[in-house]
Amino acid sequence: VPSTLSGRYLCYSFGFICILMFTVLISAAGDVLMEIFDDYALRRRRLSFFVKNKVGATLTWLVIFVGYMFLLAGVIQGYNDDRRGEKTPIEDAIWFSYITLTTVGFGDVTISNDTMTIWDIFYLSPLMLLGFSVLRNFLLKLSELVMHYFPEDEYTLKQRLQDLRECQEGLEISEVEDCGSKRDESVTSRDDSNLSTKEVKGHDIA
């Protein structure tokens, strides 16, 4: 923890840049990992369900994340056993994996930093990066699943604001209000027209 003002300035500048670079790295690694997994699953028809089905894909990445969390917990147990000479309880190792990969970081369970060597960085850092990438892919699939069952309205807020912005150019305030109301009426009439068309098609099919 920086105790001087210059140290805090260093964290403000260099630390923020490192966070941005690490975020880009996680995104790129997550894309590569997902492409490899999707290609492997699609090559085997029995596994294509875990890619094409949104629920299956979300649950798959959740299982992968939980399994990787247990794997990291085993690595942490071995690391502390080798450096401290004491066995870390499995529940503490799992808790450390969880708060680390989810970036919560309470600091109640840590690894031995005073005995860490330069060589530990070459396997601990990739392990953390891979775990962040797995979590990123799970959250991405989860967001796609939520958007699938709760889609946006046909006339989104972005479109509404864009229409109002276009109407405001060269118009008075009263005319702008009329423009917005006319736009709403056109959208409503279009929805009613689509509904009537669907009903007619339904009667034709019957």
Task: Give the span between the Cα atoms of 190 and 195, in whole angstroms.
Answer: 9
Are 174 and 183 contacting, i.e. CB atoms less than 8 angstroms apart?
no
Which stretches of 44-172 are DSSP H helices? 49-52, 54-84, 90-101, 118-149, 157-168
Task: Give the span between the Cα atoms of 116 and 95, in whole angstroms.
Answer: 20
* Long-range contacts from 182-191, C-beta under 8 angstroms, 24+ separation: 187/154, 187/155, 191/154
Looking at per-residue confidence, does 157 or 93 come out higher?
93
List Cα–Cα distances, 41 to 48, 50, 56, 127, 134, in angstroms. Answer: 5, 7, 12, 23, 16
Kindly report, residue by residue over 51-89, the tens digit of the pLDDT.
889 999 999 999 999 999 999 999 988 888 887 777 889
Pair of tokens at residue 53: 């089905």
pLDDT of residue 139: 94
Closest CA to 125 of 11, 1, 29: 29
Q: Which of 18-22, 107-111, 127-131, 196-200 has the lowest mean pLDDT?
A: 196-200
Are 101 and 137 contacting, i.e. CB atoms less than 8 angstroms apart?
no
Kindly report, residue by residue over 106-148, the tens digit of the pLDDT.
878 888 777 788 888 888 889 999 999 999 999 999 999 988 8
Kindly report, residue by residue over 150-177, the tens digit of the pLDDT.
876 666 777 888 888 888 775 554 554 5
Orientation angle between helical segments 118-149 and 90-101, nearest 10 degrees: 70
What's phi and psi for 88, nearest 5 deg?
-80, 130
> pTM for the complete prediction?
0.71
Question: How far does the chain reach from its first CA to its final CA, in angstroms?
Answer: 73
Are 179 and 167 contacting, i.e. CB atoms less than 8 angstroms apart?
yes
pLDDT of residue 203: 44
Is 183's pLDDT higher than 60?
no
